[in-house]
Each structure stands twice: as structure tokens, then as C-alpha cells.
């Protein structure tokens, strides 16, 4: 258990994925709009707690925590707008749930998949592609990798006959 600055006990999330940097930066910006009496330690503690809540997919809890703090005069509209971003994208920020389901939240896996499916096939020595032919070969490679080659490239009747025969 970790003790949050609000005095509440915050259970440690078993799926401690780092939020995407843009969400982290936006959460920090929310905290910067609040009113602070003394020092940056309490401010940094709140930023850390917000990031912990984001890591666990507890976006609403983070917003409630922010709303419980006094706002710097003149920042009301900015804060409401910034919080609107989190409210609008809340379902996309369920990092703990995504991790539990084995869903990757970073772009590294996608980029590696593109490199394997597209780069390794399309960038061999001496290969030149027109846009139309490149799109077709990429589509074909994706269908093969997804295990959907027959369903994608054969008409429905032929596909049904092959499936029935198998």
C-alpha cells in the first residue's frame, strides 16, 4: 500500500504500465493549474499520485482528486478544458485492464509488426514497387499473418467449400 497525500490508502496496481507520455504531461499540466501555498514537494506528490492512478486506469479517481484541490484564480476554464480531455478519452486510458488482457498500449509492438510484415518483404535488394502493387502485397501479407488468407482472397462459395471439405 502507498499513502497518498490526501491521506487515503492507494492500493498498488498489479498492472503498473506507464501511461503514454502525452497523458502523463497532461496530468502534470492539470496539477500545475492548481493553487499551491508552499513548496513543490506537495505538488510533486500530487503529480506522482495522478500518474499512479493513470497507470491503474483510474482516470475518474484522478479527476476527482484534482477537483478536490483549490484552483489558481483565472485557471478555472483551462482546468475544465484540460479535464475534458481525460473525460472524453477515459475508455482509452484503461491501462490496468489492457495489461490484464495482454493488450499492448505502446507503439513499439505495432512498429515491430509493420517492420516484419511490410519492411522485410518490401525493402529487399533491387525491389521496386508501384503504390498499387505495394498496397496489394501488403494486404496479402497481412491476410496471411492474420490467418485469414482464404477468407480474404477467395470468393465466399469457394471458401465455404474448402472449409466444409477440411
pLDDT single digits (tens) 42-80:
888 888 899 888 888 888 999 999 999 888 889 999 999
pLDDT(1) > 70:
no
**3 state SS of 71:** strand
> Per-residue DSSP letters for 17-53?
PPPPHHHHHHHHHHHHTB--SS-SHHHHHHHHHHHHH
Contacts of 164 (CB under 8 A, 6+ apart): none
The pLDDT of residue 10 = 36
Q: Give the torsion sign (CA, 112, 114, 115, 117).
A: positive
Contact residues for 115 (Cβ-Cβ < 8 A; gap 6+): none
Q: Point out the least confidently predicted range of 1-5, 18-22, 88-92.
A: 1-5
* CB 50 within 8 Å of CB 66: yes
- Round to whole Å and give the CA distance between 96 and 14: 8
Give the pLDDT of residue 119: 81
- HSE-CB for 66 with a 13 A CA cutoff: 31
**In terms of DSSP H, where are the helices of 33-119?**
41-55, 59-67, 76-88, 95-100, 108-114
Identify the sign of the CA torsion 135, 137, 141, 143: positive
CB within 8 Å of 57: residues ≥ 6 apart: 13, 93, 94, 95, 96, 97, 98
Q: What residue ranges do the domains of the chain occupy? A: 2-100, 108-165
- pLDDT band, very low/low/confident/very high, at 6 (cuts 50, 70, 90): very low
3-class secondary structure, 14: coil
Amino acid at each position: 500500500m502507498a499513502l497518498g497525500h490526501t491521506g487515503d490508502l492507494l492500493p498498488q496496481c498489479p498492472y503498473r504500465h506507464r501511461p503514454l507520455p502525452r497523458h502523463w504531461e497532461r496530468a502534470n499540466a492539470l496539477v500545475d493549474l492548481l493553487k499551491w501555498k508552499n513548496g513543490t514537494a506537495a505538488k510533486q506528490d500530487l503529480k506522482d499520485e495522478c500518474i499512479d492512478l493513470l497507470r491503474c486506469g483510474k482516470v475518474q479517481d484522478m479527476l476527482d482528486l484534482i477537483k478536490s484541490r483549490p484552483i489558481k484564480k483565472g485557471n478555472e476554464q483551462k482546468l475544465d478544458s484540460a479535464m475534458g480531455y481525460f473525460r472524453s478519452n477515459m475508455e482509452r486510458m484503461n491501462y490496468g485492464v489492457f495489461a490484464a488482457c495482454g493488450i499492448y498500449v505502446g507503439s513499439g509492438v505495432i512498429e515491430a509488426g509493420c517492420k516484419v510484415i511490410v519492411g522485410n518483404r518490401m525493402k529487399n535488394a533491387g525491389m521496386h514497387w508501384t503504390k498499387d502493387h505495394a498496397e496489394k502485397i501488403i494486404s496479402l501479407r497481412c491476410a496471411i499473418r492474420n490467418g485469414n488468407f482464404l477468407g480474404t482472397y477467395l470468393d465466399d462459395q469457394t471458401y465455404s467449400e474448402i472449409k466444409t471439405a477440411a
